[in-house]
Structure 1
Amino acid sequence: MKVADIMTTEVVTIRNSATVAEAVKQMRRHSIQAVIVDRNHEEDAYGIVTVADIVGKVIAFGQDTRRRRVYEIMNKPCIVLNPDLGIEYAARLLASAGIHSAPVVQKSLLGIVSMTDILQQGDFIERPQTLQLKERLQHLEEAAHQTCYQKGPGSQACLDAWAKVDALEAELAHQQAEAIEKTAFESYMDDYPEAFKDREYDAWCGG
């Protein structure tokens, strides 16, 4: 699933000059934990004000929410999500940044996604990304073997096919936080040493 599949399209926005009290009213009215701060012009960035910002920067110090302004406590520019991003990567981005919500932007504001959206609407139980990557990797390896059989082990088409395998294999290792002791391509080269005997030398000479 992608971010676009689970995002909320009815986004609550607020002016940067609005009072924090107005932001609180918006959150209460819509039962949300964040409001997006509008851009002032096309080249401007979006901002965000969250419950944590209001509680930690205003309420915790006993300040008057009617006298503090949104621009004083907002996070701008805020982290934004691409609608085509996989929800696993969106979850990782939110978690690593320590935030609950982020706007979905592609030239303009399209929606907002929260940790709750990911948890409630994601298909990670039925279709874990790791299993999907393993299936795709298996198909790419089979395709690489077929290409190399048809074009020859030392052909550019063979190298290109294995480059795709290498990239996906690295992504899977990154997803699982594991190191690759020997790639599938390296194992393939072991089976055809003559076809790749000059490859290491060429790579060394090329820097």
Structure 2
Amino acid sequence: MKNVEQILKAKAQHHSVYTIGPDDSVLDALKLLAEKNVGALPVVENDQVVGIVSERDYARKLVLKGRSSPFTKVHEIMSAPVITVEPKQNLEYCMNLMTNRHLRHLPVVDNGELLGLLSIGDLVKETIAEQANLILQLEQYIRGE
């Protein structure tokens, strides 16, 4: 089973990690989410992840409460403290954490440094690939190859 570091390496070829500051406006966060076509942004202050802001945070903590995105700061709606994982964590641990905590995104942090962001989609994709590989190996074993 792969660990977080291996998944991030494969993902890094196609994706960058975009971040936002806690004092930026929610409107700026929304623009970045839309421009980069991502569902969440780690909130970084002084090179430390202090929270995460997602489309869910926007919908539940701003829109439903009648607040204004140009005048609301990210820190007012972000999820904090943020739950993170380390590069050596395995896929199963991350899936359990995301399922039990109802998370869709996990920042990956090593010694305080943000290395990447895993989505539930990343983990599902990797799980499917691992299962397909296992099925192939079993079929080859049964055929005596």
Give TM-score scaled by structure 2 length: 0.79
Q: 1:109 aligns with which of 107, 110, 114?
A: 114
Q: TM-score, normalised by structure 1?
A: 0.57
Q: Structure 1 residue 33 and structure 2 residue 39: aligned? A: yes
Q: Deviations over 1:125-160 (max 9, x none)?
A: 1467xxxxxxxxxxxxxxxxxxxxxxxxxxxxxxxx
5 Å matches for 1:8-27? 8-9=11-12, 10-27=16-33
Aligned counterparts of 1:3 and 1:46: Cα–Cα separation in 2 = 20
Q: 1:84-128 CA distances to partner (integer Å, 9 max, x unpaired)?
A: 111111011111111100110001110010100011233441467
Identity of aligned residues (%): 28
Q: Which has the larger radius of gyration?
A: 1
Superposition CA RMSD, Å? 1.7
Segments of structure 2 that go 5 or more residues without pairing to the other structure are 135-145
Separation of aligned partners in 2, 1:29 and 1:79:
25
Does residue 1:57 correspond to 2:57, yes or no?
Answer: no
Q: Does 1:3 align with 2:4?
A: yes
1:180 — aligned with what? none
Higher relative contact order (CA 8 A, sep 6+): 2
Q: Which protein is richer in strand relative to its size? A: 2
**Distance in 1 of aligned mates of 2:93 and 2:133:** 15
List gaps (5 residues or longer) in structure 1.
129-207
